[in-house]
Structure 1
């Protein structure tokens, strides 16, 4: 495989350690009643349109932006291993399309180590997305997840 097609050159990775047990982080990631509280930016109202959480199942969420326009996110689950990983295709219309998102969960006592990859088709597309602020965007989403998890941990 050529170096230019190497997945590491086409992947944006974000790592976090959540101060919550893996079961709770998994639930927050996989259950619609939690997803609406953290998915997307803070000023967006999230609606779960579809959430068929199984391999081959589809998901579709809409986010209403402050200007009233809708931002659509959707994909198809390709791999699910409970408390370990979720892999899905993903389109974030109109900004990012045709990527794969990979969420990896690792138990660390009462905490959860989390690795999130966004895999792009090409290195050029990955670099374009980085310039558009993909790290800041997902970083703010995961900040919201941290806040949501804090409300759940007693």
Structure 2
């Protein structure tokens, strides 16, 4: 097993919203629909059983008629603090672990998102495929969603 740091891609953000709101946007289907996909794309929630051992599965219709499937199983949930889940994003990314951390900072939320890959080479390949642009776009949509929820 190669060094964890070299197998992990990380995005850190501070959202201008209270931790409960960021948590709700991340964990409730009606909010996930608004931001999980990159800008210009839609997402369908097929399954969302938010509990340890529960499955989640989302489908994003592609312009060519195919579907991009995101799915996983929740491994660890610490309310308002941490979510750990397995994840497959078929057909591009498989067998990764998502670790999402939430920390209240007054009326803001410090947010850390880590994706852990099986190998260093796979991690590098995912980064080169556009990891930061793809998730960055989704998190911009999350930020916009949070603004609509606070107003």
Q: Give the TM-score of the pair, scaled to structure 1.
A: 0.96
Deviations 1:27-70 (A, max 9, x none): 00000000000001122221100100000000000011233221
- 6, 11, 14: which is aligned to 1:14? 11
Match of 1:53 in 2: 50
Residues matched between the structures, number: 151
| Distance in 2 between residues matched to 1:5 and 1:18, nearest whole Å | 32
Q: Paired residue for 1:136?
A: 133
The ranges of structure 1 where at least 4 consecutive aligned residues each deviate by more than 2 angstroms after the TM superposition are none
TM-score of the two chains, using structure 2 as the length reference: 0.98
- Unaligned residue ranges in structure 1 (runs of 5+): none
Is 1:104 aligned to 2:104, yes or no?
no
CA offsets, 1:50-109, max 9 Å, x none?
100000000000011233221000000000000000000000000000000010000000
Task: Tell me, yes or no, if structure 1 residue 114 matches structure 2 residue 111.
Answer: yes
Q: Structure 2: any 5+ residue segments left out of the alignment?
A: none
Whether 2:41 is the aligned partner of 1:44: answer yes
Q: What is the SS of the residue equivalent to 1:102?
A: strand
The residue matched to 1:68 in structure 2 has which SS? coil
